[in-house]
Structure formats: C-alpha cells, structure tokens
Chain A
C-alpha cells in the first residue's frame, strides 16, 4: 500500500516538474553543454574517483566538449596505477578501462593480458551479478582496446546460463542468488553483462537462450510506467532499492542494457517504438539535472538511444508555441534525434487543430509543413482560419523512406498546445451614470481604453453605474478574455472587485448602488475605478485606472458591519517612536529676597526697642557680686547661657539633634551647678539686704 502511494506521488511530482515542457520536449542543446562543463569540474586536473572521471569524460565526449587535455595527465596516471596493481577490484578495473577507452592512455599489452586472465577466472567463478557485470564489462573493454589480447570466453554458454539463472519471471533480476529481492536496475546490468558474454563468446551462443532473453526484455517493458505527457520510465518496485536507485538511474541502466544487447544480437527485439520514444521523452523531460551522476545518466542514455538498433527515437519539437498574429509568426517544427542531430528525410503534417474550447471541431484541414534545408526546420504559415486563441495542434511525422520506419520511432501523432496571440480591438467603451427608477441617463462619458482616462463622476445610492465595451479579435470575432475585472477602490483602501460579464456582443456591468450600499460598508467618498482586461492570448492586456467616482451613500445604520481594518504598513510600523521627556514639578513660588531682608530688618526692631527701653530705664549692673568666687560663678553662668545659645546657632547651622542634645546635657549640668551657686549667692545677698 505504502509502495503504491509512494509511486503515486512520485509520478505526480515528476509530472509537475515536467509539465513545464507541456509535451514539447526539446533535444539536447547548447545550454546542456555549458551546464555540463560547469557540473563536471576536476580539482587540479583529477577527479575524486575513476568512476567520476569516466562519467565526466563520457559526458564531454557525447556533448562534444573538448576538455580531455586538461585532465589527461593526472587521470591517465591513476588509470595506469589501477591497471598495474594486482589487487584492484573488478569494479576499479572496469572504470579504469572505461576511462582508458576514452583517453587512450599508454598501457602495456602485458598488463592487459594479466588482467584478462584474472577477469576470466572471476567470470567463471562469480556468483553475484555485479561481479559478472564488472568482469565481463572489463573484458569487452579490453577487447576493444587491444587486439592482441585473448579475451574470448571458453565457457560462454556456462556463464550465460549462470547470469540467466538470476533472472525472475517478470523480467527483473536479482543481484545474487542468496538475495531474494529482484530489481529493475539489476536487469539492466544483467542485459549489459549478457551482451558482453555474447560478444566474447568463442562459439555461438544457443539462439534459443537469446530468444528467451528477448521475451524477458519484453516482459520487463510491460512494467514500464507512464506519465500523461507520454514520457515513460522504469522504477524499482521495492522501496529499499528505490532509495538507492532513482527512477533516472534505473531507467538509464535498462536503456544501456537494452541497447548493448540489441547491438550484439541479430534479429529484432520487438520493443514497441513508442516505448523507446517514451523513454527518450523521460530523459529529455528532466531538463538539465544539477547533479553530475544524473547528468551523466541522462546524457549517456540519450547517446545509447541515439544509435540503438531497436528504434531510434525522433523528437518533434517546437522552438515556439506562442505565435503572434501581429508579428506574423510562422509555425516552426523541428524533428531531430535526441542529441539534436538531423533526422532522415521526412514530412511533418499538421493533421488537425483543435480549439481548446471545442474539443471536436478541427479548425484547419490537414496540411503539410514546408521543409527548409538551411534551418532544418519545417515551416507553416499560420492558416487564415486561425484566430487568436488556445489550440491543440496535432502533428504527424511521415518518413519518406519506408525502410527508415523500421529504424526510427516517431511515435505517431504528437499533440502540442499552441497559443495564437494577437491584438484585441477595444471599441465603444463608455461609462454611464443612470437614474435608478426611470433609467434616464445622468452623465455619459466615452472612454478610450487604449489611452489614459481621468474621469470624475459622482453618484448617489439611488443611481446606477454602467460600464460597457466591446472586444473583437483581429478577424472581427467577439473575444472573451479570462480576466475582466472592474475594481472600485475607496480612499481607505477597501477594494471591491466585480467580474464584467458578457451580454450579447458587449461586455457590460451595471452597478446598482442601492443594492451595494451594504457591501460598500456605507462608505461615502471617492472611489478609484480600475479596469483590468487580460488573457493569455491577448497581446494588449491592460490594467488601467479610469478615474474616480464620488459616491454619496446614506449614513451607516448601527448594525452595519464595519469595514475591514486596513493592513498595517510594515515600513511605518517599525519606525522610531516620538520622544518623551518628563515634565518636572514646578518649585513653589517664593517672595523676593529683598522683601525677606526688609522683614528681617523689621524683626530686629523689637530687640532694638527692648535695648533702648532698658537704657531709658537706666539699667545697671550694680548687683554683680564683688567677691571673686561668686563673680566667677556669675561669669561662668552667663558664659554657659551664651554657650547654649551658641549651640542652638550651631544646631541650626550644622549639628544634628543628637550631638546637640549631648552638649545641651553637659552644658545643662554645668549651668545647674553654676546657676545654683550664683542664684543662691544673689538670694542670700538680697535676704541680707532685706533683713538689714
């Protein structure tokens, strides 16, 4: 189940990847060549392995890129090393010989003899398919490279049989006898190995064995998978194998095996020509692979198909499928082999052309295309009866020589989608504001849709807007494009799109604003009018602002839906914010300093009054004690009071409460003592005075 699903989506994806070509397959071209030389890049003249070197050299050889000299020295050195070493595995020898077949390095015949003997021993005793493949493949290569060496297999029939014993009833092969899983990829390798055995056989292989093999090949081709566009490919049935071999390498392996086998056997292999053509389409449909291995597989398989004995596929391709009536483009068809070389003499026939709208009626009679020797293309002037539109042209390739029909596969008829484009005439465009109930015309403006317009209309919700125009093809037929949109765009970027329908010959839309007020969210104001008319075959598709209409719509009721919030502009959203600075509290208002100083002066007036009063009273200090000790106490007492007052001043200026209290405490005790002495002295003096 999982396998089927996987297969299903593989097909789907490849179909998507391929559908760009839309059944027009182009043969290998220059872009392949430039991509090829980009893809295979040697690090300072050598490749990572001989296998990579062979893939690069073979691709260069097929594409005609001359790069051999750059890599020759380093690669030849490793070829000679590999061939000279007695411990090289058959796989390494195989690729070394393959490289050598292209580079023609100087290798001693003695070395070949030694290798041939070893390989024959391996071929005789091998049990796994890969061993057969590499050893026999190497022997074939030695045979081509050196005529002196004896590479013929004495027991060709036996080897043939042991390879054949790995085959399965459905045409696929197993890699070795103890591995039960059969693989399509292996079938390709086996066919290649078997064809090697046939060519190396010292005596003829039994024809009946070859006959069964041919029927195996036909069975294998029964499992070929197919895309909608005619491309065919082989894929592994087993998921585990599929991860190792992509459809491309599997198909390439089968193609190599098939063409190698067809080359060494006489008589036909009855693989249908369209299957071969399908395989060729598969390889061409891939485009330019971006990976060296895939690129090699594609190019090498196409080269095998190019000169195979089963059927050589001929690819019908169109350089252009978009034909312009204004430019009077001619229909050009090329028929080439897959690598782009010229085909045998043939005629291309346009059998019928179906308009994509009507699948039945053919617009053109069967016509032959004219061959132009210089460009090797077949040309046809677009017939008069073909108007702009989208057509499916059906081509047929007829080979002139009936002998060629056995050699080449043309695939019968080929369907190609053709777009015939032209300039569409726009006429009778007008825009009208109508009064709703009576239909009388309020304003009517002609439009020139080919040029600029800047209409200024106004309407209210009781009126209607009518836009109408006519489209005709260059041949005077009515034309219906895919895209005919009228867009009304309010100032707040709310957009409304209407499809302009076709009524009779005219395109006409009537906007009844009464029915649209709700859709317009009751938004009055200016609406930009934009008209878009476009189609794939219309060369003058346009998107044009016609002008604006000022709509006067009623007030929105409470329940009306709100217009959608417009999208936030990303550029403005991320800008810096406006700066904020804190506003500090204003300090309280204070009187001016002068005023304070004046009041300061006033405050001292009572003191001055007090002092003046004292002087007027005639104060004296006659009571001050005369004897020394009380006088000292008296002075100390007043100094103490002055100190306390000074402490208060200091407290005001700088001292804190605790220091002040400490000093006040000390001074207090002192004052208590001296105060008590002086006061008791004063009291006793006054008591004496009273008593005296």
Chain B
C-alpha cells in the first residue's frame, strides 16, 4: 500500500514536469535559472518576472555568487534557460563560469544577459562570445540629446526613448509597438561579420556612447545607429540569446513609466518596455518562431511510393510539411518562400515550393540528365525563425540499355538494307538449289 502510494506520488509529482519540460516536440523552455546581484531585483523587476511566471515558466532565483548554484547535475542540465541579471558579478558561485555558460548555450539552451554601467569583465566576455562588444570605457553610457525621454527629474539625457525596432513580426510579435522603449545603460556593437547577431533595438543616429561627466576630446568609439541597445543571437543550434545593455530596461519603474520622446508632442501613458520584453522573451524562450518539418516525401509523378533511385529525366514530385510552434501547439506555417534544392556539389535545381496555405509545401520537377548521388535539400533560414536544414540523399542513374529509343526513323535505310538482303538471300537459296 505504502509502495503504491509512493509510486502514485512520484507519478503525480513528475508527470506534469515530464510533460512540460523542454523537448523537440515541445520546444518552449520551462525551467529558468535567474542569477541576481541582489535579491532586491526580484522585487524591483517583478513585473518582468511575473509575466514569465504567468506564462508557465518556473523561475529559480539565486544570487550570482551563491556557492551552491550549478547548471548541470550528473551531466544533465537542470535548467532550460538562464537569465543573468547580475551585471557586476566578477565570478559566479558554484560551478558556473564562462565556459559553463558557453557550454550551456552550445547545448541549445537560451540565455538573457542584462549588462549595465560598470558591467564586469565576466559579463562583457560572455557578450563578446555571443558576438557583441560593449563599449570598453566602463563609465560610458548611451547619451542621446535628440531622442531622450522627456522627464522633469532626469536631465542628463541618458534615459533614451528608442523606437528603432527590428522589422520582424516573429521576434517582436505582430502587434505594432506604438510607444518608445525606455533604455538607460551601455551600448554595444554587433560584429559585422557575425551573421547570427541581430540588432533588435538600435539607437538613433544622434546617439553616442560616452561618459556624461567628462568632456570629449576624441570621437567616441560608438556613435549613431551603429549602437545597438538590445541585440539577439540565434546560434546555429537554434539556441537564442538576448543581450541588453540596460538592466533597468526590465525594471518595474520603466514598465510603468509614462513616456514622451523629445521633440514629439505625443505622450504615451505607458512605455513599450513591457510589450517589447514580453514579446522578445516569447521569442527567446521559443514560444514563437520555432519551425519543424515533417513528412518529407518525394516520388515519381503518378506513383505514390518513394523510389530507391531515380533515372535521369524522370518527373518527380517533392513535398514537405512545415509547422510553427505557438507556445502550446504546432500550427501550420504559412510562407511563400520555401525552396528546395536538388543538389550534388552545387544545386542543379532550385525551386520555390507551392503551398496550400495549410503547412504543406510541394513542387514537381524533372530530374536533371546528370547521374550521380543527389540530395533533396531544404535550407530555410528566415529572420527570427529557427533554421530548417533538411537533406535527403537519392541516387540518380542513367538509362538502361533497353531504355533508349528503339526504332529511329533515321535508321530506316539500314533496317531496309538488312531486310532486303535477307529477302534476296532467301530467293537466292531457292533459285540456286532448284534452278536448272
């Protein structure tokens, strides 16, 4: 009886956990480790945390130098994502260090980093590894004298009202962000050769990154819209990273604050920080923009089964179904730019797939007259979506000896010659034998 009870408790305790944890079929993160400099952040940034908790995330708050923290136990990760709200930490407690965090991301987990003025070298290093360079001057902050947030109490124009968002519905949601986002912190640049980093929130052309208290003699290293305020990275393994130069971006104070951008007469009752970060965190934690492809099929026209080999010049049909994860269920993905390649060393055929608007994509084409080992390849990379990389190998053979054309009109004289010869031979045998 007791045994049964314990089994039951075990099941009731672990079942919801098992069904909700991260898996390829359920790509949303569940368990998030939040590392804080100070537990007071839990209350000063509670609106952000609450929005995560209300969406079903389990947040585990720890001090960044807590000696007991670790990301793995017995080789398994105990968390699906990590939030670093500890800009000043020089060294994490427990077994977490730079390499551990990079391994965590390399194994497909997500990360949110918030830096701030006086960000520690460790936080800067993590950002550099993600392809983002914060301004090296520790006292520098982003200043903008033409698009700051108008305020009666903050006169140094370091609270920036920015509305230069990336144009991507999948990253920022389909609802337009009307109000500007408040930002106060340090700027960064994204490495131009790194194609995985995207600027989500950029500074205005008049912004610059400098120490507001000292006079400028040299041009600042970061200026204009090259300054990124918030960036995201989607690694090749679809791990997503959010990097912000401001911790107060996430704070209740900015979430609730009224905004008026300098030079604009429009006063917004609420800044867009809440909408911006809610939508962005949906993206980072894989509630949106996660694609999967199933039912990859190909066959000859008029047949249903997948052949083991194609002959050159065969007509074939190719189809694939693509679904997008919507936090709770897989919905058909609708786009008109999915392309398939028929590939051997280089694409021989590259064709845009037609769609039935219900997630199914299909096309038909003729196999090239080159034999060898080909691949059907779908390399689908779109801004904000996880990349799809499908490949299926298929050999292509030439004609068999009996598959060539049989009766060629141009050869009729030859055929005729042979038959007339045969007829002549027959007559000759008769004549030769019996003629007197």
Binding site for B on A (CB under 8 A): 2, 5-6, 9-10, 12-14, 16-17, 20-22, 24, 31, 35, 243, 246-248, 286-291, 294-295, 318-322, 390, 417-419, 421, 480, 482-483, 485, 487, 495, 497-499, 530, 532, 534-538, 541-543, 564-568, 570-571, 573-582, 584-585, 590-591, 593, 596-597, 599-600, 602-604, 606-607, 610-611, 614, 619-624, 634, 638, 641-642, 645, 648-649, 652, 678, 682
B155 with A536: CB separation less than 8 A: yes
- How far, in angstroms, from A321 to B199 measured CA to CA in the complex? 34
Q: Which A residues are in CB contact (< 8 Å) with B49? A: 290
B208 with A483: CB separation less than 8 A: yes
Is B410 close to A, CB under 8 A? yes
A582 with B38: CB separation less than 8 A: no
Query: Which of A286, A319, A607, A645 is within 8 Å of B152, CB to CB?
Result: A319
Q: How far apart are A108's CB and chain B's nearest CB, in angstroms? A: 40
B435 with A290: CB separation less than 8 A: no
A573 with B195: CB separation less than 8 A: yes
Q: Which residue of A lies closest to B215 (CB)?
A: A482
Encode B178-195 as 1/0 by CB contact (under 8 A) with A. Answer: 000000100000101101
Q: Which residue of A lies closest to B39 (CB)?
A: A246
Query: Which of B190, B198, B217, B433 is within 8 Å of A682, CB to CB?
Result: B433
- How far, in angstroms, from A566 to B193 measured CA to CA in the complex? 9
Q: Which A residues are in CB contact (< 8 Å) with B184? A: 20
Given contacts A14-B38, A582-B368, A641-B429, 20 further A-B contacts (CB under 8 A): A6-B65, A247-B40, A286-B44, A287-B252, A290-B46, A291-B42, A320-B153, A483-B206, A483-B216, A487-B223, A534-B206, A536-B157, A568-B195, A579-B350, A579-B352, A590-B410, A599-B413, A599-B416, A604-B420, A610-B424
B415 with A246: CB separation less than 8 A: no
> Which 7 residue pairs spanning A and B have beta carbons closest together?
A290-B46, A534-B145, A419-B155, A543-B206, A541-B145, A320-B152, A291-B43
A638 with B252: CB separation less than 8 A: no
Q: Which A residues are in CB contact (< 8 Å) with B208? A: 483, 485, 532
Q: Which A residues are in CB contact (< 8 Å) with B226? A: 495
Binding site for A on B (CB under 8 A): 37-47, 49-50, 63, 65, 88-89, 116-118, 143-146, 151-157, 166-167, 184, 190, 192-193, 195, 198-199, 204-206, 208, 210, 212, 215-220, 223-224, 226, 248, 252-253, 256, 313, 337, 339, 341-342, 347-352, 365-366, 368-370, 381-383, 408-413, 415-417, 419-431, 433-436
- How far, in angstroms, from A482 to B146 measured CA to CA in the complex? 13
Q: Which residue of A lies closest to B405 (CB)?
A: A587
- How far, in angstroms, from A498 to B349 measured CA to CA in the complex? 51
Q: How far apart are B68's CB and chain A's nearest CB, in angstroms? A: 11
- How far, in angstroms, from A143 to B30 measured CA to CA in the complex? 51
Query: Which of A291, A585, A645 is within 8 Å of B369, CB to CB?
Result: A585
- How far, in angstroms, from A184 to B44 measured CA to CA in the complex? 23
Given the interface pairs A287-B253, A591-B410, the reply to whether A498 lies near B347 with Cβ below 8 Å is no
Query: Which of B146, B368, B422, B427 is within 8 Å of A610, CB to CB?
Result: B427
Q: Which residue of B lies closest to A533 (CB)?
A: B145
Q: How far apart are B119's CB and chain A's nearest CB, in angstroms? A: 11
- How far, in angstroms, from A35 to B37 measured CA to CA in the complex? 25
Given the interface pairs A20-B154, A582-B348, A600-B413, the reply to whether A542 lies near B146 with Cβ below 8 Å is yes
B215 with A294: CB separation less than 8 A: no
Query: Which of B166, B206, B256, B351 is within 8 Å of A581, CB to CB?
Result: B351
A576 with B151: CB separation less than 8 A: no
Grouping DSSP codes into helix (H, G, I), strand (E, B) and loop, the B interface class, with mixed when no group exceeds half, is mixed
Q: Which B residues are in CB contact (< 8 Å) with A604? A: 416, 420
Q: Which residue of B lies closest to A582 (CB)?
A: B368
- How far, in angstroms, from A9 to B219 measured CA to CA in the complex? 32
Q: Which A residues are in CB contact (< 8 Å) with B256? A: 31, 35, 288
Q: Which residue of A lies closest to B208 (CB)?
A: A483
B217 with A499: CB separation less than 8 A: yes
- How far, in angstroms, from A322 to B158 measured CA to CA in the complex? 14
B37 with A13: CB separation less than 8 A: yes
Given the interface pairs A17-B40, A574-B381, the reply to whether A581 lies near B435 with Cβ below 8 Å is no
Q: Which residue of B lies closest to A679 (CB)?
A: B433
Q: How far apart are B233's CB and chain A's nearest CB, in angstroms? A: 12
Query: Which of A498, A535, A645, A682 is within 8 Å of B426, CB to CB?
Result: A645
A288 with B153: CB separation less than 8 A: no
- How far, in angstroms, from A48 to B409 measured CA to CA in the complex? 95
- How far, in angstroms, from A246 to B421 measured CA to CA in the complex? 113
A575 with B337: CB separation less than 8 A: yes
Given the interface pairs A12-B118, A246-B39, A623-B434, the reply to whether A606 lies near B351 with Cβ below 8 Å is no
A483 with B145: CB separation less than 8 A: yes
Query: Which of A9, A318, A580 is within 8 Å of B153, CB to CB?
Result: A318
Given the interface pairs A537-B155, A567-B192, A571-B167, the reply to whether A17 lies near B44 with Cβ below 8 Å is yes
A621 with B219: CB separation less than 8 A: no
- How far, in angstroms, from A310 to B198 measured CA to CA in the complex? 57
A16 with B146: CB separation less than 8 A: no
Q: How far apart are B410's CB and chain A's nearest CB, in angstroms? A: 5
Q: Which B residues are in CB contact (< 8 Å) with A573? A: 195
Given the interface pairs A31-B256, A570-B166, the reply to whether A602 lies near B413 with Cβ below 8 Å is yes
Query: Which of A24, A291, A390, A619 is within 8 Å of B46, CB to CB?
Result: A291
- How far, in angstroms, from A499 to B220 measured CA to CA in the complex? 9
Q: Which A residues are in CB contact (< 8 Å) with B424? A: 606-607, 610
A16 with B252: CB separation less than 8 A: no
B198 with A624: CB separation less than 8 A: no
Q: How far apart are A107's CB and chain B's nearest CB, in angstroms? A: 34
Given the interface pairs A619-B435, A622-B436, the reply to whether A20 lies near B253 with Cβ below 8 Å is yes
Q: Which B residues are in CB contact (< 8 Å) with A16? A: 116-118
